[in-house]
Amino acid sequence: MKRVKGFNKARRLLTRENFWESFTTTPRLRAQIKQVFGEALSVQEVVDRIIGEVRYKGDNALFDYTEKLDGVRLDSLEVDRREVVAAYDIINKKVISALEFAARRIWDFHLACEYKTGLIPIDRHLGQQILPLQKVGLYVPGGSAAYPSTVLMMAIPAKVAGVEEIIMVSPPGKDGRIPAPTLVAADIAKVNRIFKLGGAQAIAALAFGTESIPRVDKICGPGNIFVTLAKKMVYGTVDIDGLKGPSEIIIVADEKTNPALCAADLLAQAEHDPLASVILITTSADLADQVDKEIEIQLGKLKRRSIIRKAIDAGMLVLVDDMAQAVELVNLFAPEHLSLMTSDASALVPKIRNAGCIFVGENSPVVLGDYVAGPSHVLPTGGSARFGSPLGVADFLKVSNIIALDKPAMRELSQAAVVIAKAEGLDAHAQAVALRVIATLSKTKRKQSRRSPSMRESEGKKLK
């Protein structure tokens, strides 16, 4: 890992560029694109072409791209119930039990989070109607790997919110199947329909719909650069949960922190992706040295060390003068995962403004948040923790404001509305209000004229 000494240097290095704008294709990826498409195209041009073809050719484009890009020729896109049932016999029973345990934790956490649905009155005339989305699409990475935890972390908050139909897409492996753990997790989380489909073509299908794939209201889930750019390009046609980039962790530590645990947590996040950001910020040069040594000791025992090595080599060991500098650097970088492993970890929490999830103390490793703690592990990345939040129940709800005025309330508000409308040069707006006021006044006068002189005289005495 790179050694960075001093706050000012660290500040320069931790000030982010836009990941999606700075992304560059490797020679290998460029060669693959040319092989598939017959010409040199940028990643954005590839995604644009795929979206266009799916939009206008429907299922035919999906079958075609699944064969070209995933190397699989499918007879049907949808996973039938028999495949899901068979998945339970394939995987270890301990895995099923662990997934069920995690599901209960995730369900309980999101059920306990405060949220309201239905008709919510604010006062006599104003309110809100809060309803769940009808259809949501979940993108689950797959192919050679299985991510059942991601299924649970997305589908369960949607179910708690009351989403009517959850559509899951995940790329098939070379055998034409979605990994069994992913199917079991989808069943535990009560996903309604599952499709063997990945890449930008899956995002396009969810956004626009095809003969087989229903059009959804929102798409959630992480993926590679093609998936993420596709989400960015269909936003507006459909809602998205954000643009999810490579995994990130900052560990804040002091001289009392266990270096072996620091190293283990950095390696765990580096395991996700060669582009993962792994950063230690500490006030102790001695701890930084020990963590560096521990990384090398532990790395040699890990299966995915070639991936981890790339992320670790690009990672940083940052030395600062005090915790105030450490906190400022954290808030600048706005990490997906923040692990506070100092002796006074709880005291630092109120000072953190920008982080997707804050893990407090050595007994709260990020890995437990990845799987079983309860909150969703779908978190803002790429610095979007400055304004974004973890995936939760609220992401699957939508709000309609309600205005239901009676005549007295309408008349009370009208004068100010007419003045503002005229100030904006919008005469039709002013007229729409004025006509209503005139109509209510006319009705009032007609009612008064129909009263007898004795009734009007009696009412006048009462007013006096």
| Rounded distance between C-alpha atoms, residue 189 and residue 183, angstroms | 10
Q: State the amino acid at position 3 in one-letter form.
A: R
Q: State the amino acid at position 234 in one-letter form.
A: V
> What's the token pair of residue 255?
């001289």
Contact 164, 157 (CB under 8 A): no
Residues 6+ apart with CB under 8 A from 297: 263
Q: State the amino acid at position 53 in one-letter form.
A: E
Residues 6+ apart with CB under 8 A from 52: none
Q: What distance lies between CA 397 and its chain's CA centroid?
A: 14
Among 173, 214, 193, 233, CA closest to 50: 233
Q: Phi/psi class of residue 78: alpha, beta or left (left: φ > 0; alpha: ψ in -120 to 50)?
A: beta
Beta bridge partners of 397: 132
Is 366 exposed, middle or buried (CB count within 10 Å of its CB: 0-12, 13-18, 19+)? buried
Q: State the amino acid at position 41 in one-letter form.
A: L
User: Which phi and psi (to 5°) does residue 210 adopt?
Assistant: -135, -170
How many CA atoms lie less than 13 Å away from 127 in the CB half-sphere? 13
Beta bridge partners of 240: 219
| Rounded distance between C-alpha atoms, residue 270 and residue 219, angstroms | 26
337 given a catalytic annotation? yes
110 given a catalytic annotation? no
**CA dist 433 → 116, 380, 408, 409 (Å):** 33, 44, 13, 12
Q: What distance lies between CA 219 and its chain's CA centroid?
A: 9
Q: Say which of 110, 272, 337, 377 is annotated catalytic.
A: 337
**CA dist 74 → 146, 147, 173, 265 (Å):** 19, 22, 11, 40
Q: Say which of 248, 336, 362, 377 is annotated catalytic.
A: 336
> What's the token pair of residue 164?
């009517």
| Rounded distance between C-alpha atoms, residue 430 and residue 415, angstroms | 9
Among 172, 224, 230, CA closest to 51: 230
Supply the angle between the helices 427-449 and 407-423 in degrees, to the nearest 10: 150
Residue positions annotated with a catalytic role: 336-337
